[in-house]
Amino acid sequence: MTYIEEYYDFIKKNPNKVPEKVKKVYKMLVENIKKPKVVSFFNKTTGETETHTYIFDESKANRAIIFIEKYCKQSKGKWNGKPLKLQLWQKAFIQAMFGFVDKDTGLRKYKKVILFVARKNGKSVLAAAIATYMLTKDGEGGAEVYSVATKRDQAKIVWEEAKKMIKKSPSLAKRIRCLIGGIYYDATDSLFRALASDSNSLDGLNAHFVVADEVHAWKDKNLMDVMYDSMSAREQPMLLETSTMGTIRQNVFDIDYDYSSGVIDGTIEDETLLAIIYELDDEKEWVNEECWFKANPALNTIKSLKDLRDKVERAKQNPIELVNLLCKDFNVRQNSVNAWLTFDDLNNEEIYSDWKDCYCIGGCDLSSTTDLTCATLLGVVKGKIRVKQMYWIPTNSLEKKVIDDKIPYDKWLKNGLLRLSGDSKIDYHDVTSWFMEQVQEFDLRPLWLGYDSWNAQFWCDEMKSYGFNMVEVRQGYKTESAPLKQMKADLMDKKINYNNNPILKWNLSNVVVKVDDNENIMLSKEKARQRIDGVASLMDAYVIYINKQQEYLNYINEEV
């Protein structure tokens, strides 16, 4: 029996100890062992359809496991100097990485592998051991292995761990040179280095294996792209992406997490990606000790169960510690401690396929240069509040904002969530045109349209000339407090369906509010982590929705 099958048996016997995403992946892997998967795709280079059959080669699957347990030594605490004995979940993971190969060529199936797991579960040690194997025994001449992160200190964690492993192992220490600038295996002219995004040597790389560590802290999407592209000349390269969850939203981590979730669920087809995500299935499971294993497969072996119990008890007494506990020890995505909403509060992946022929309420937050401009339509359909938005950015700002904000504006533009407007500042005619599109093409008819009067007089007059009923929304505690509190409650109850718009989701995660002596609240653009223009636009619509709620519901004959 393979370790993959053995681990899947464990999963079936202990369903409360393994998250749903991991269950789905290992079920699929076991099926692919028993019945090799046939994959067809169109090769743009040759203009022909290619068919590949991927079989499981247990001999290749076990090579890294045998190497690691025979040669790699641990370097910390009570395990210092002792052989690295892999746990079942680690062996199954390694077998999945290396065991599935093309029947005809023998080349590996997976080019990118993701391991998201809570802290203190040994992921850095595991990554270092795999990197050492890839440096020495993967059969690649002149292999280039890299540990990469946005900061050099972080990039060196896996590299330094590998260096210690090698020095503790007499067999490896005789054959591998560990120097200040790199680790070298002269038998195959191979090297292992640590690189950061500010390194001067990112160009011209020819990577065979890359460890991208703690991706939750990465704001630089370009770094991941550069490293992935650097593998293109190798025959069977691999990128291993490891991380705990984090508090930086809609950057590299969220992009890869959402993409991986789609692959696991079957909504995205990508045969080159293997994603193993250990996490709580529900944030509320943090009080259920049996469920703690879902995010911590090494709990009570590598990771101390007693220490985790103590942290949980402290969080129960001091809620301010809960965000960090959920994020780092239970692998639940969070925002910063001072954020208005937790990620669980704001996250709603429900979508609607078609929205036409509806009376609604509009909102708009205008900008000129640095901020986004956002237009919103809000309407009640079958008891749920639907939200539709469009964002604009000046044409000349796109490239700079992708670099400065480290946010995928270019991807959102390609997906139709964002539009370019003007050269150096937004042309408000484009905003008017979008509202007109919604009326003419989708028959979405705003009864009222809320706006902040700042810099809006010309645009307001233009909108009125097209028949829109414009309502000024004055900014401040008195106007914003009740609508913001109701918006938060509706988001938490999943009553707001914003069509899983990643820009609004990112904006919501950035919100910080100011509170006065009477506990009234208002948006704080000064303290916000990044852009909140989409929330400001939604709030302008919400102010009108709250003030005219009964009139609106009577108009559309709905109840909430």
Strand 112-116 and strand 273-277: the pairing is parallel
Q: Residue 558 — pLDDT band, cuts 50, 70, 90? A: low
Q: Name residue 347's amino acid.
A: N
Tell me the pLDDT of the chain averaged across its residues.
Answer: 89
**289 pLDDT more than 60:** yes
Percentage of residues of the chain with pLDDT beyond 90:
64
pLDDT of residue 211: 96
Q: What percent of the chain has pLDDT over 70?
A: 93
Q: Which of the residue ranges 40-54, 145-159, 285-299, 539-553 would you say has the lowest mean pLDDT?
A: 40-54
pLDDT score of 403 more than 70: no
3-state secondary structure of 513: strand
Distance CA 373, CA 383 (A): 29
152-168 and 123-136 helices, crossing angle to 10°? 70
Q: Say if CB 222 and CB 242 are below 8 A apart.
A: no
pLDDT tens across 505-533, in order?
Answer: 999 988 888 877 677 888 887 766 678 99
Angle between helices 20-34 and 88-99 (to 10 degrees): 50
The pLDDT score that the predictor gives to residue 528 is 67
C-beta separation of 216 from 244 below 8 A: yes
| Residue range 196-203: mean pLDDT, rounded | 66
In angstroms, the CA 61 to CA 93 distance is 10
* pLDDT score of 196: 86
Task: Tell which wins on pLDDT, 505 or 323.
Answer: 505
CA distance 201 to 204: 7
**Residues 289, 293: Cα–Cα separation, whole Å:** 8
In one letter, which amino acid is 366? Answer: L
453, pLDDT greater than 80: no
Which range scores top for mean pLDDT: 97-111, 393-407, 471-485? 97-111
CB 365 within 8 A of CB 388: no
Tell whether the model's pLDDT for residue 560 goes beyond 60.
no
**pLDDT at site 335:** 66
The average pLDDT across 525-544 equals 86
Q: Nearest Cα to 426, choosing from 533, 502, 351? A: 533
Residue 209: what pLDDT? 96
- Give residue 165's pLDDT: 94
- Give residue-wise pLDDT tens across range 52-69: 899 999 999 999 999 999
pLDDT exceeds 70 at position 402: no
pLDDT class of 224 with cuts at 50, 70, 90? confident
- What are 261-277's pLDDT values in tens digits? 999 999 899 999 999 99
Burial of 198 (0-12, 13-18, 19+ CB in 10 A): exposed
CA distance 125 to 303: 13
Banded pLDDT at 199 (limits 50, 70, 90): low
Domains of the chain: 3-277 (3.40.50.300), 283-333 (no CATH), 346-556 (3.30.420.240)
